[in-house]
Chains A and B, each alone.
Chain A
Amino acid sequence: MDIKVPDSWLREYLETPAKPSQIAQYLSLCGPSVERVNKVGKDFVYEIEVTTNRVDSAGIFGIAREAAAILPRFNLSAKLIPPKVLSRHSFASSVDYLKVKIDHSLCQRFTAVLIKDVQIKPSPEWMVDRLRKVGVKVINNVVDISNYLMYGLGQPTHTFDYDKIKNSIMILRPAKKGEKIITLDGKSHTLPGGDIIIVDGSGRLIDLAGIMGGQNSAVDNTTKNVLLFVQHYNPTQIRKTVMSLAYRTDAATLFEKDLDPEGVTPTIQTGIELLEKLTGGKAEDKILDLYPYPYQVKKINITLDFIQTRLGINITKNELSKILLSLGFENKWSGGKLEVDVPSWRSNDVNISEDILEEVARLYGYHNLPSQIMPGIIPEPPEVTPFAYELKVKQLLKGWGAVEVYTSSLVPQNFIGKDIALKLKNPLGKEGEYLRISLEPSLLTAAKQNSRATNPFHLIEIANVYLPAQAGLPRKGDLPEEKMMLAGITAGFPFTQTKGLVEVLLAELNMEADFIPANNGAIIKQGKTVLGQLKVIDDARIYYEFDMATLRNLSKPFSTFHPIPKYPGQIEDLSAIFPSRSLVGKVIKAISALDPQIADFQLIDTYENSKTFRVVYQNPDKTLTDNEVAKIRGKVIKTLANKFGARIK
């Protein structure tokens, strides 16, 4: 959460000679991150990011508390000036001006005080200036004080028009489902149930506690008596209400992070002081305070050894103690052990030794620590990883002119069709509702997007598809199978060229492939295993895909060695006329396998149904005689005729 801190306001709680630029730099190194310092008139305004665990510094006083500990580490003196405590008022568990009934599981501490005879008017200039610098709208003195307390001390407060609380009775209870309230800003809410609400003596809902007050009890220009209200609310419940109503206020953002119940005391006292001063009102002497379980100091034990090992340096006992004390952590050594008291404002984020370590380390300064790579044994990598193989495939294809794309895994409904795919509950839009089950629609879209390209192109992608758990594989109720696929699409390439790309890729991976005719293309198999498919999409585009795991499992790391033949082969061309619709791949496969002495059999020319093949006859152990060649040729011709119905020309 980002807060704005005017330098002038900060210095009300912090006495230091440090310049704003120094404060910004040093806070960032050891504490909350100062994102920017803006000059506003003669003043400066820090923009500070407060992390969710540090709600104690989400106010100007909290930042001052951090600065007071941090600046001395940079040889700049700094003293924290706490809010003044007034002695005239006492805290009491019952008062005559308000009768209350409280569910303490929702409200750990409840305080309220009545201020009589206030005069509603504009706030003085200094307060207007400060509130404007933190970005708050100025309304009137009473409402402004309430905001001033929240931004200054980090504790939200509320002011009721006392006379609008029927019978001076307040009941704090969980809301029933469906109860309705109109808040100060005029918005109407139907409550989900369980929300912290306050009803008055007539049973009206007058406050959506911790989030925003009710319109029916709000301070207005005719208000005479004000009830100042400072509480600690159950953070989980506040968050629940905020999330289910999708309605957030600055107060709720603070309450949901579990504020310090001890912080209520200085806030209500400062509130009384400001209200009396700026409205002319008079506060009751007794402040109603219901706080059945006050903060018990939390103790954490650490050892010097722990801090030194984790920090990686030999910090001294004395320095350790001093650092912790500067942050409000009282501590006591006994031998190598240190007992640390956690102050109330840090009680929800400091729980274990590592939390103490963080406090010490950041104040010591991460920038003051040396850098060193850890010694120790280097772990064994898993025997099989896919990464090198994926890169090899990408680089091979790149070498042949492919362009790699990364397209989104999140796809629209029409990419899925009638198949089953995982759907998102909260997609960003219709374009990304589903997890894709195929790369084909993504690559086709990518190709279409480049349809104006003047030259033929080839796009590739290696990415997961997400196959949901279905009956069968994988188990129902399990995560989807994330299957790494290689896919490519060519545009403007003849079929033979795309097929060639696929073939040389498989050859480079030391694989053999059969192209089995299938609808508009071919299924690519090695032996009985399906490796992938090739598919003609339209006149211009051809798509192919492979399952990467299958490729990786089946491809041999090296090719097999064949001795170089010692005796020359005999080469001749054979032409034959085939019946229409003959598959030439089958012919080549059959003839190549016919005789081990046929060293090569390739198609070199095609004219209509006539095909010319180049045959190499070769024997590794001798030069073949004409007679021997004639015998093999006879087998070839016979097979061509009998098996494929071909007629030799």
Chain B
Amino acid sequence: MSEEQIHNLRNEALSLIMGTTTQEELENLRINYLGRQGKINQATAELKNLPAEKKSVVGKIINDAKVAIENALFAQKEKLSTKDGQTTWFDPTIPSVQPQRGHLHLVTYAIEEISQIFNHLGFVRVRYPEVEWDWFAFESLNMPASHPARDEWETFFVDTKSHPKYGNMVLTPHTSSGQVREMERVKMPPIRMINIAKCYRRQSDVSHVPMFHQFEGLVVDKDISIVHLKGTLDYFARRFFGASRKIRLRPYHFQFTEPSFEVDVSCGVCNGSGCKLCKAGWLELGGAGMVHPNVLTNGGIDPSKFCGFAFGWGVERTFMMKAGIKIDDIRILYNADLRFLKQF
């Protein structure tokens, strides 16, 4: 085979390859030219008939033609596959490039959800001092200085002079200290307050943190009854925990409410039939009661004309009961470990 013939073979192959419209045609061409019995192999086989001085020259030309055909086949194959709509190879399982993801704290989510629910009932959100006078934290709430009931609040005292009228400076151990402050702000009922703030108690173990959050509801108006307290807390429980959840009241005692209640919510795990997580179908939420007339008087409101109810619960505790998040040591909430914070 002459050099000229090999050139022709090469040109013929390239033009045929470029003219193909399907993969099948292309494959036939490949077999025809590069297959074992293909034209390139035939040309190579004929090399032995050439004189020695010609062999290497023609051999090189054959090889060049082979490479050119291979490249053309590859390029056409790519071209055809795109044309066929099968497009280029695409892997959707590849790891992505993400924007940095931020995280708000559990307590922020809880506070928002709680305040939204009470907002629907016309409750006004407020926040009162965390560093507070004894008067607002205890005395005005019907707890005189030596009262044994005070023992239940493990109170932090600030090392400073006491106020001539308001007594010692304390870290407020509950949001109830906002009750009289709200009465003083509003002056004339109606009052529907939701006070969410940091509170402090002198205790630290797996279920207590020295700094925590409470939400306090206070309603003062004419003719407010226990039925209204139940209605409000029922509404909260349904919205916060789920439509099938119920609350119940049991007798309890607080100096600043009369009557006073312990509020339970039906267990979401067993739906009230009793299980390992709950006490006979119920979980303790927290305290509530009808505002004691002395507290109204201390807030400048006439208890013969107005009455009301109040409740104050732990934000962290209530949220965990909802989410079913089991945290074996609550103190982790106030620890800045990213491995924890990034989970929410």
Where the two chains meet, the residues of A that have a C-beta atom closer than 8 Å to any C-beta of B are 25, 28-33, 35, 51-54, 236, 239-240, 256-257, 309-313, 352, 354-355, 357-358, 361-362, 366-367, 369-374, 376-382, 385-387, 391, 394-395, 397-410, 422-428, 432, 435, 445-447, 449-450, 453, 457-459, 464, 466, 468, 477, 479-480, 482
- Chain B residues with CB under 8 A of A374: 219, 221, 224, 228, 231-232
Given contacts A371-B231, A477-B161, contact A428 B103 (CB under 8 A): no
Can you list 15 A-B contacts with CB-CB less than 8 angstroms, sorted by A residue number? A25-B280, A29-B250, A52-B152, A310-B307, A354-B293, A357-B258, A358-B251, A361-B259, A369-B230, A370-B227, A370-B230, A379-B122, A379-B191, A382-B185, A409-B130
- Chain A residues with CB under 8 A of B112: 391
Given contacts A239-B148, A358-B259, A422-B160, contact A404 B225 (CB under 8 A): no
- Chain A residues with CB under 8 A of B342: 403
Given contacts A377-B190, A397-B102, contact A406 B129 (CB under 8 A): no
Q: Which listed residue, B103, B225, B235, touches A311 by the CB 8 Å rule?
A: B225
Asked whether, in the complex, the Cβ of A376 is within 8 Å of the Cβ of B222, the reply is yes
Is the CB of B124 closer than 8 A to any CB of chain A? Answer: yes
How far does the alpha carbon of A30 sit from the alpha carbon of B249 in the complex, in Å?
9
Given contacts A313-B227, A366-B230, A405-B336, contact A355 B258 (CB under 8 A): yes
Q: Which of B210-240 contact A (CB under 8 A)?
A: 210-211, 219, 221-228, 230-232, 234-235
Q: Which listed residue, A357, A373, A432, A464, touches B130 by the CB 8 Å rule?
A: A464
- Chain B residues with CB under 8 A of A385: 125-126
How far does the alpha carbon of A400 sit from the alpha carbon of B224 in the complex, in Å?
47
Top 10 closest A-B pairs, CB basis? A401-B100, A312-B227, A312-B225, A378-B122, A446-B336, A358-B259, A398-B102, A51-B253, A366-B249, A374-B228
- Chain B residues with CB under 8 A of A408: 210-211, 334
How far does the alpha carbon of A427 sit from the alpha carbon of B228 in the complex, in Å?
40
Is the CB of B132 closer than 8 A to any CB of chain A? Answer: yes
Asked whether, in the complex, the Cβ of A400 is within 8 Å of the Cβ of B100, the reply is yes
How far does the alpha carbon of A54 sit from the alpha carbon of B169 in the complex, in Å?
30
The winner among B219, B225, B337, B342 for most chain A CB atoms within 10 A is B225
Given contacts A236-B146, A406-B107, contact A372 B230 (CB under 8 A): yes
Asked whether, in the complex, the Cβ of A312 is within 8 Å of the Cβ of B107, the reply is no
The winner among A52, A385, A435, A447 for most chain B CB atoms within 10 A is A52
Given contacts A311-B226, A366-B250, contact A404 B258 (CB under 8 A): no
- Chain B residues with CB under 8 A of A30: 251
**Smallest beta-carbon distance B330→chain A, Å:** 12
- Chain A residues with CB under 8 A of B258: 352, 354-355, 357-358
Asked whether, in the complex, the Cβ of B228 is within 8 Å of the Cβ of A366, the reply is no
- Chain A residues with CB under 8 A of B198: 409, 464
How far does the alpha carbon of A465 sit from the alpha carbon of B20 in the complex, in Å?
78
How far does the alpha carbon of A398 sit from the alpha carbon of B156 in the complex, in Å?
34
What mask results when residues 180 to 216 of chain B are scored 1 for a CB within 8 Å of chain A, else 0? 0000011000111000001010111000001100000
Asked whether, in the complex, the Cβ of B148 is within 8 Å of the Cβ of A256, the reply is yes
A-B pair number, CB within 8 angstroms: 227
Asked whether, in the complex, the Cβ of B156 is within 8 Å of the Cβ of A427, the reply is yes
Asked whether, in the complex, the Cβ of B336 is within 8 Å of the Cβ of A449, the reply is yes
Smallest CB gap from A469: residue in B: B160
Smallest CB gap from B222: residue in A: A376
How far does the alpha carbon of A435 sit from the alpha carbon of B222 in the complex, in Å?
41
- Chain B residues with CB under 8 A of A33: 250-252, 262
**Smallest beta-carbon distance B47→chain A, Å:** 62
How far does the alpha carbon of A459 sit from the alpha carbon of B235 in the complex, in Å?
36
- Chain A residues with CB under 8 A of B169: 422, 479
Given contacts A405-B336, A424-B158, A479-B169, contact A373 B225 (CB under 8 A): no
Q: Which listed residue, A358, A380, A387, touches B115 by the CB 8 Å rule?
A: A387
Given contacts A398-B104, A422-B158, contact A379 B131 (CB under 8 A): no
Q: Which of B141-157 contact A (CB under 8 A)?
A: 146, 148-149, 152, 156-157
Asked whether, in the complex, the Cβ of B108 is within 8 Å of the Cβ of A432, the reply is no
Given contacts A357-B258, A409-B211, contact A425 B186 (CB under 8 A): no
- Chain B residues with CB under 8 A of A35: 279
The winner among A391, A406, A459 for most chain B CB atoms within 10 A is A406
How far does the alpha carbon of A367 sit from the alpha carbon of B234 in the complex, in Å?
12
**Smallest beta-carbon distance B30→chain A, Å:** 50
Is the CB of B79 closer than 8 A to any CB of chain A? Answer: no
Smallest CB gap from B164: residue in A: A477
**Smallest beta-carbon distance A548→chain B, Å:** 12
- Chain B residues with CB under 8 A of A382: 124, 126, 185
**Smallest beta-carbon distance A536→chain B, Å:** 21
Asked whether, in the complex, the Cβ of B192 is within 8 Å of the Cβ of A422, the reply is no
Asked whether, in the complex, the Cβ of B334 is within 8 Å of the Cβ of A312, the reply is no
Is the CB of B66 closer than 8 A to any CB of chain A? Answer: no
Given contacts A379-B122, A401-B99, A404-B341, contact A479 B253 (CB under 8 A): no
How far does the alpha carbon of A365 sit from the alpha carbon of B244 in the complex, in Å?
22
How far does the alpha carbon of A361 sit from the alpha carbon of B185 in the complex, in Å?
32
- Chain A residues with CB under 8 A of B149: 52-53
Asked whether, in the complex, the Cβ of A372 is within 8 Å of the Cβ of B228, the reply is yes
What mask results when residues 71 to 104 of chain B are scored 1 for a CB within 8 Å of chain A, else 0? 0000000000000000000000000000111111
- Chain A residues with CB under 8 A of B234: 371
Is the CB of B174 closer than 8 A to any CB of chain A? Answer: no
**Smallest beta-carbon distance B77→chain A, Å:** 42
Asked whether, in the complex, the Cβ of B227 is within 8 Å of the Cβ of A371, the reply is yes
How far does the alpha carbon of A32 sit from the alpha carbon of B280 in the complex, in Å?
16
Is the CB of B133 closer than 8 A to any CB of chain A? Answer: yes
How far does the alpha carbon of A278 sit from the alpha carbon of B252 in the complex, in Å?
39
- Chain A residues with CB under 8 A of B127: 386-387
How far does the alpha carbon of A404 sit from the alpha carbon of B334 in the complex, in Å?
11
How far does the alpha carbon of A643 sit from the alpha carbon of B280 in the complex, in Å?
81
- Chain A residues with CB under 8 A of B152: 52
Asked whether, in the complex, the Cβ of A422 is within 8 Å of the Cβ of B159, the reply is yes
Q: Which listed residue, B108, B132, B159, B235, touches A425 by the CB 8 Å rule?
A: B159
Given contacts A404-B105, A446-B336, A459-B336, contact A361 B226 (CB under 8 A): yes
Asked whether, in the complex, the Cβ of B228 is within 8 Å of the Cβ of A401, the reply is no
- Chain B residues with CB under 8 A of A447: 336
